[in-house]
Homo-oligomer: A and B are copies of this chain.
């Protein structure tokens, strides 16, 4: 930690800061510049920088140790590659996950999965427990939904991913699911993250609506520090002043995160934009920006979807998109699968 003293800081104030940090177990290194004296605090344990900021004569306190450990490229320089049912995410691979927002009926899942499978999609998404803003909205089929998606996925040799909302659901889900998703609203549900650290299947960790890249990576650190190293980060839009789109897709987060971390970064263009006609350009922008995959909503007939039909692609539109991604892939050095 570096403590920058004010321009007019007095000797006694500098001494006071030095004493303070030594009391907390740190060594103090003083260097006197032309304008500011800077005190380096080395080797101690945790200290809240704001405690130092409130001491007389202190201008600013700067943490210089990165908070990341397991998620960082310093810890693991090479890309993490996560493979599920033959589909790879990361390390030059662009994995595609598709399926409806919500599991409604066996027929709905069967029709959708049949088409997706025929296009080559190998990971099926669908929500069994739905986080809804209103208590009066449809809350999902629960375990019955899990049974449906598993049965359908098995029929077409697909893997399954669905959202887990609470630690009480984890054990049951492990019987049905191949990848667990943590939704944006739960990105800092630390109780949940800790439990997911003990699980041995991949976790898709969506970025919270107001989460900084640092907070997002720290939530991944929670999972990894529990022992589960298979984390896929998923950008799905952040909340800004702009209301024309549901959220603002932070596409530049892709190269930013890939520089700091070895984990794969995918995008959910459906929740980010909230409208079907924006999903396709944002999907192409994802691969162009270097993303490691997509999780996209497709419904065999969006007009009858119970939930989020407006942001679901028609199967034929998805097919065109999937084909385009495969054409773009070689130019962008990405293997679409």
Contacts and interface: CB of A to CB of B under 8 A. Distances in A.
Contact of A54 (B54, B213, B276): B276
A244 interface: yes
Contacts of A193: 135
Q: How many copies does the complex hold?
A: 4
A7 B74 contact: yes
A83 interface: no
A62 B62 contact: yes
Contacts of A186: 189
A277 B53 CA distance: 11
Interface in A1-51: 2, 4, 6-8, 29, 31, 33-36, 38, 40, 42-43, 46, 48, 50-51
A201 interface: no
Nearest to A43: B34
B255 A277 contact: yes
Interface residues of A, number: 108
Nearest to A210: B210
A135 B226 CA distance: 9
Interface string A308-324: 11110000000000001
Contact of A210 (B34, B46, B209, B282): B209
A328 interface: yes
B135 A274 contact: no
A199 interface: no
Interface of A: 2, 4, 6-8, 29, 31, 33-36, 38, 40, 42-43, 46, 48, 50-51, 53-54, 59-60, 62, 64-67, 69, 74, 131-138, 165-168, 185-186, 188-194, 208-210, 212-215, 218, 221-222, 225-226, 238-245, 248-256, 259, 272-278, 281-282, 284-290, 303, 307-311, 324, 327-328, 331-332
